[in-house]
């Protein structure tokens, strides 16, 4: 019996719904592969602010740190938009990443053959797309100091600093090259080195680290061109590495290759001294809360990444992917990926189907 402790952070909006479906699938994994998962649920985001006055209570941090892995739903709601910046739900995301030292965010953009028709792009463009985007997660403009809004020369001026240390770039590059080695040995580093000093350092470190991985082909691309190429010819990419803000934007763009934000998972990895965190890349969708219509597949596939990266079980991980693929092949769809001729199912029904096929 393989026993692990998992911290659940459902969060706001549809977070509870998608996390519940992930638990159904993990229950099936327990039975088939001999696991025992012990869950502890904590507050994060807007709901945490309402109940404790903080979007990220210390008990949440402590529970996460004492677990073997963390599963996050989503945070945020329009009703919190008028809160001071320091207590906005989104602050909890930055806080938990910093507390757990989650510096490497892996976001696969994979197009299931069964969903080619759900994309807004032509079939010949997206069929066979399989990209891994590796986003540095604890640096860049989201964490750079100083930051704020001040009166300068008589007018309000906002500023955020894009800052990267050589050591921060070095460690994310090693993750990227090692990931590329397990894939097709092609790594594209995305920056803005023609304009930004920080990007010139990024590229310099990438080239230096590449010397340790002679079997991996390293290329470079400016972020604006990369945004265009992801739509024009996404199959040219295999593994991508980039900074925090560029990665945030590009990975959301790449998600639409699959037809829906509800399809793509992510893993935020630490240095091994703290647990890693797994979450869908979509937001909290407060307008859909409680309607049982959202797609839980991104969260379910995030648990597959957890099985692989935290528990080193590629067999169980693959079983989740294969179950999702089988359910999609049988024509079952939540509304976000539904087209005429499919079988429309709810959030809970999709979770049941995937669990049953493990």
Catalogue all structural domains in the chain, each as residue range(s) with its CATH number.
1-105+264-358 (3.40.718.10), 130-256 (3.40.718.10)
Asked if residues 59 and 42 have their Cβ atoms less than 8 Å apart, the reply is: yes
The answer to which of 46-50, 100-104, 215-219, 281-285 has the lowest mean pLDDT is: 281-285
Model pTM greater than 0.85?
yes
Indicate if the alpha-carbon torsion angle 158, 162, 298, 188 is positive or negative: positive
The residues assigned a catalytic role are 142, 192, 224, 248, 252
CA 107 and chain centroid, separation: 5
Tokens 């597959």, located at residue: 304
Mean pLDDT of 294-319: 96
Gap between the Cα atoms of 137 and 306, Å rounded: 18
Closest CA to 89 of 99, 80, 102, 100: 80
Residue 150 tokens read as 């001040």
Model pLDDT for residues 14-65, shown as the tens digit of each residue: 999 999 999 999 999 999 999 999 999 999 999 999 999 999 999 999 999 9
> In sequence order, what are the beta bridge partners of 110?
130
Q: Is 277 helix (H, G, I), strand (E, B) or coil?
A: strand
Asked if residues 267 and 106 have their Cβ atoms less than 8 Å apart, the reply is: yes
Closest CA to 246 of 189, 200, 197: 189
Model pLDDT for residues 78-135, shown as the tens digit of each residue: 888 888 888 999 899 989 999 999 999 999 998 888 888 777 788 889 899 999 999 9
Gap between the Cα atoms of 272 and 302, Å rounded: 18
Tokens 């309402």, located at residue: 50
pLDDT of residue 191: 98
| Contacts of residue 344, Cβ cutoff 8 Å, sequence gap at least 6 | 333, 334, 335, 338
Kindly give the interhelix angle for 244-255 and 223-232, rounded to the nearest 10 degrees.
10
């Amino acid at each position: 019996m393989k026993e692990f402790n998992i911290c659940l952070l459902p969060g706001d909006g549809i977070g509870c719904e998608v996390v519940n479906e992930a638990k159904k699938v993990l229950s099936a994994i327990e039975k088939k592969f001999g696991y025992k998962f012990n869950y502890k649920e904590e507050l994060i985001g807007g709901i945490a602010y309402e109940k404790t006055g903080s979007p990220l209570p210390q008990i949440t941090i402590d529970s996460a740190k004492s677990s073997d892995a963390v599963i996050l739903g989503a945070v945020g709601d329009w009703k919190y938009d008028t809160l001071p910046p320091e207590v906005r739900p989104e602050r909890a995301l930055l806080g938990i990443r910093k507390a757990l030292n989650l510096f490497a965010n892996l976001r696969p953009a994979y197009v299931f053959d069964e969903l080619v028709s759900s994309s807004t792009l032509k079939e010949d463009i997206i069929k066979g797309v399989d990209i891994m985007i590796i986003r540095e997660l604890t640096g860049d403009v989201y964490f750079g100091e100083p930051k704020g809004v001040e009166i300068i020369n008589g007018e309000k001026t906002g500023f955020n600093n894009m800052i990267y240390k050589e050591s921060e770039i070095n460690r994310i590059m090693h993750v990227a090259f090692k990931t590329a080695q397990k894939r097709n040995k092609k790594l594209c580093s995305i920056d803005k080195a023609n304009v930004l000093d920080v990007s010139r350092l990024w590229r310099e470190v990438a080239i230096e680290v590449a010397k340790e991985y002679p079997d991996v082909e390293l290329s470079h691309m400016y972020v604006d061109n990369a945004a265009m190429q992801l739509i024009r010819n996404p199959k040219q990419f295999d593994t991508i590495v980039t900074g925090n803000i560029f990665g945030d934007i590009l990975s959301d763009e790449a998600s639409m290759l699959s037809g829906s934000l509800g399809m793509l998972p992510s893993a935020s990895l630490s240095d091994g001294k703290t647990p890693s965190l797994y979450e869908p890349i979509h937001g909290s969708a407060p307008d859909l809360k409680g309607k049982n219509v959202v797609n839980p597949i991104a969260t379910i596939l995030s648990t597959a990444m957890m099985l692989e990266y935290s528990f080193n079980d590629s067999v169980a991980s693959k079983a989740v992917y294969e179950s999702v693929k089988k359910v999609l092949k049988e024509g079952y769809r939540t509304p976000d990926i539904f087209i005429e001729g499919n079988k429309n199912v709810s959030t809970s029904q999709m979770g049941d189907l995937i669990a049953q096929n493990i």
